[in-house]
Amino acid sequence: QSALTQPRSVSGSPGQSVTISCTGTSSDVGGYNYVSWYRHHPGKAPKLLIYDVTKRPSGVPDRFSGSKSVNTASLTISGLQAEDEADYYCCSYAGRSILFGGGTTLTVL
């Protein structure tokens, strides 16, 4: 059960787009379409942004989009806003377990 691999940090200016990658294996990200993304502000409950690789829960703006290619999933945030500054985690079903990525800190410059 190894954590999924995410970049430690990304940054962008307001209005720009950023993409966060999440690399796993054929036993998790590549093997199932149960990939999700969360935004987490320390001390608060994580917020689900994307599920089933590309779907958004009700209330999540379409600035957030997800995709997957083979063993790597990606989260793209367009039209960056100051409130987007947070930690982002990918998550994947892995058969008999759930794996999170190590987390990516997004800084809005």
Q: Which residues bind other proteins (CB under 8 A)?
A: 1, 3, 34, 36, 38, 40, 44-46, 48, 51, 57, 87, 89, 91-93, 96-103
- CB of 15 vs other proteins, minimal distance in Å: 28
- CB of 32 vs other proteins, minimal distance in Å: 9
C-alpha 32/C-alpha 10 separation (Å) is 26
Q: What is the CA radius of gyration of the chain?
A: 13
C-alpha 55/C-alpha 12 separation (Å) is 24
Q: Which is nearer to other proteins, 3 or 109 (CB)?
A: 3
- CB of 18 vs other proteins, minimal distance in Å: 19
